[in-house]
Amino acid sequence: MTNKKPISLTGIQPSGTIHLGNYLGAIKPAILRQDTYSCIYFIADLHALTTVRDAKIIKTAMYDLVATWVTCGLDYEKHILFKQSDVPIVTELAWYLGCVTGLGFIEKAHAAKDAKEKNKEISFGTFAYPVLMAADILLYDADIVPVGKDQKQHVEMARDMAGSFNHAYKADIIKLPEPKIEEQTMIVPGLDGRKMSKSYGNIIPLFSSEKELRKKVLSIATDSTPLEDPKTMEGTLLGKIFQALATKEEYADLEKRLQKGGLGWGHAKEELAQIIHKQVGHLYEPYLELRKNEKKLDEILALGAKKANTIAQNVIDKVRVAVGTR
């Protein structure tokens, strides 16, 4: 009997400015898992190449993410943070998996299906994306892979590919991790009421000075009800954003005061800015400090790569013996 914690695997997509939606919907829940699981986090730079053709963007996003996650509490010494391309044998495993996977099966994946429906040309990388993703999921002996409902298909496809592999080589060589559906993950609305997203230009960045944050929050559109009139946040854009970012008590308290009258929307927005600042304001300076130190970020990634490669090597050794390349 060992008391080793189960392994949880989280993939992180390198993307543009990190916002409060990313923080509350993905980063914070993933950081909290460190208490219960032995966590492995990888930054999926190889996947990003299916859409990004600029080395500088890839590199900058990589450093941004390492600095972000570490500032937000990722303990890279106890757990593992690495970049996908630092474990090149993931592409080898993808090949082995690809050799036991039918074309029809891959065509069912979101990207390929979407492209076919729209009669769109896609790269081989985009088409083969689910196979590389399966290799990511299977190479680190993970027990669980936390995913949103919309990403469950990826883990199920990885399990199917692992099943095909084990069946083809008549042994339980690759471990099948379980998807852990994060039912309660919240959707943070953006400044225009749609889901907060870089592509809509409606974000509140996770890292901004108090002044910049206040400016963003004050830009939320409200109606022109006079200051002295009673108001309700219920059903308003400000209300939705407030609800996502404040506690229930903070929401109820402000709502009560607004309903009494004598409090303007401008005041409510000031309170929202303060609440956000209270939650994440302390991260801003440490983030800037760490982000500047690329040598330190390289060291963090090198440590992660070393640990991730050790685990991956064990798995690939068994796979190579099974297929006959070793």
Q: Does 44 bind ligand AMP (CB under 6 A)?
A: no
Q: Cα–Cα distance between 83 and 44 in angstroms, integer?
A: 6
Contact between 206 and ligand AMP by CB under 6 A: the answer reads no
Nearer to ligand AMP, 188 or 268 (CB): 188
195 belongs to the binding site for ligand AMP (CB under 6 A): yes
Closest separation between CB of residue 25 and ligand AMP, Å?
2
Scanning 107-115, 153-161, 187-195, 212-220 for contacts with ligand AMP by CB under 6 A, the matching segment is: 187-195
Span interacting with ligand AMP, options 191-199, 232-240, 285-293, 314-322, rule CB under 6 A: 191-199
Among 8, 10, 22, 85, binds ligand AMP (CB under 6 A): 22
Determine, following the binding rule CB under 6 A, whether residue 15 of this chain makes contact with ligand AMP. Answer: yes
CA dist., res. 6 & res. 184, Å (int): 21
Q: Considering only CA atoms, which of 175, 140, 150 is closest in space to residue 37?
A: 140
Token digits for 147?
């995913």
| Beta-ladder partners of 56 | none
Q: Which is nearer to ligand AMP, 187 or 288 (CB)?
A: 187
Question: What x-and-dash track marks residues 133-162 binding ligand AMP by CB under 6 A?
Answer: ---------------x--------------
Cβ proximity of 140 and 7 under 8 Å: yes
Could you tell me the smallest distance in angstroms from the CB atom of residue 1 to ligand AMP? 35
> Nearest distance from residue 265's CB to ligand AMP, in Å?
23
Stretch of 22-30, 54-62, 64-72, 277-285 lying at the interface with ligand AMP (CB under 6 A)? 22-30
Q: Are 222 and 234 in contact (CB under 8 A)?
A: no
> Smaller CB distance to ligand AMP: residue 241 or 316?
241
Q: Does 25 bind ligand AMP (CB under 6 A)?
A: yes
**Chain contacts with ligand AMP (rule: CB under 6 A):** 13, 15, 21-22, 24-26, 148, 186-188, 195-197
